[in-house]
Amino acid sequence: MPDANGRRSLTPDLNPFDAFIGQGDDQSDVGEQDGLQRNGLVPQQLPSIIDERAIVRYYKDPYKTPIIISSGHQEQARQGTWEDFFDVALALDVTTGCGGKIWPAAEVLGQYIASKRTGGEWKGKQAVELGAGTGLVGLLAAQLGDLEKVWITDQIPMMKLMAQNLDLNPDLRERCIVAELNWGEAVPEDVTTHPDVLLLADCVYLEIAFQPLVDTMVEMSTPQTEILFCYQQRRKADKRFFKMLRKHFTFTDIEDDDPERAKQYNRQGTHLYRVQKK
């Protein structure tokens, strides 16, 4: 339930309200041809969220869970100490695909980088978020202040929403770029080919996209690339993706997240991996 200020914690129950969180869409298997848009890779979804607004607050304290401040209570959004949290303003809209809402993996990966990547580890580096959807994780990464440049990337149907979300966070315009990037195709000229950091949240969704995603990860990484990969377990077919991934990468569970929090999201089928190219 929300508190008096309209705030809702995203954990321990990673789906506190279906209006913003995509957990409720994870329960049934999605076949290779189910729910595809015309371009073949962006899954469609009934338009349950149309032009909504929210602010997602991530805390630097790993023991504090993120909250969503809904559009009716955003006058409270700036309450608190700036040194303690990061606010990301978002437009949410699923009329062009299910990437237009907040998914549990973005909550988990976002909280990890908010609490673990504020000590200068990424100073002067470049990052790319693949399959960004709303752009939430990439926008958060840009807010940390250390990264020189962040690209939030997805397919054409998500471009308008990502650009809108960058406009809602004007302080990030100088170091954040919205760009089209189709998995399995050559990296476009306006996106860095080999970023220092690759961010992926909830990209394992449709079987038809498994190999293209692996191909793009191979093209954009080296053994030195830091790859943070948050995955929501959905169906048995996901094993095929990780079999493909193992041909080129090793992956292990993140070990420095809060253990109680990790136990909690693991129980709900969310896994946070560190991936390294062989």
- Give the pLDDT confidence of 169-215 residue by residue, as tens digits: 999 999 999 999 999 999 999 999 999 999 999 999 889 999 999 99
185 in any annotated domain: yes
User: If pLDDT is split at 50, 70 and 90, which confidence band does 233 have?
Assistant: very high
Tell whether 154 is in a known binding site: yes
Give yes or no for a contact between 54 and 71, defined as CB atoms under 8 angstroms apart: yes
Residue with tokens 């990860």: 217
pLDDT at 237 over 70: yes
Average pLDDT value for residue range 51-59 = 90
Average pLDDT value for residue range 238-243 = 96
Q: Which amino acid appears at position 52 of this protein?
A: E
Tell whether 133 is in a known binding site: yes
The number of folded domains in the chain is 1
Average pLDDT over the chain reads 83
User: If pLDDT is split at 50, 70 and 90, which confidence band does 230 have?
Assistant: very high
User: If pLDDT is split at 50, 70 and 90, which confidence band does 36 have?
Assistant: very low
1 in any annotated domain: no
Tell whether 201 is in a known binding site: yes
214 in any annotated domain: yes
DSSP class of 275: E
pLDDT digits (tens, 9 = 90+) for 85-133: 999 999 999 887 778 888 889 999 999 999 988 778 899 999 999 999 9
pTM of the model: 0.83
pLDDT at 231 over 50: yes
pLDDT of residue 76: 52
241 in any annotated domain: yes
Give yes or no for a contact between 202 and 103, defined as CB atoms under 8 angstroms apart: yes
183 in any annotated domain: yes
Tell whether 131 is in a known binding site: yes
Tell whether 135 is in a known binding site: no
Domain limits at 36? 7-277
Give the helix ranges, DSSP H, for the chain: 104-116, 136-143, 156-167, 210-220, 238-246, 259-267
2 in any annotated domain: no
97 in any annotated domain: yes
Taking residue 5's Cβ as centre, other Cβ atoms within 10 Å add up to 14
Tell whether 103 is in a known binding site: yes
Separation between Cα atoms, residue 41 and residue 274, nearest integer Å: 25
Q: What is the CATH number of the domain that holds 217?
A: 3.40.50.150
Average pLDDT value for residue range 256-273 = 92
211 in any annotated domain: yes
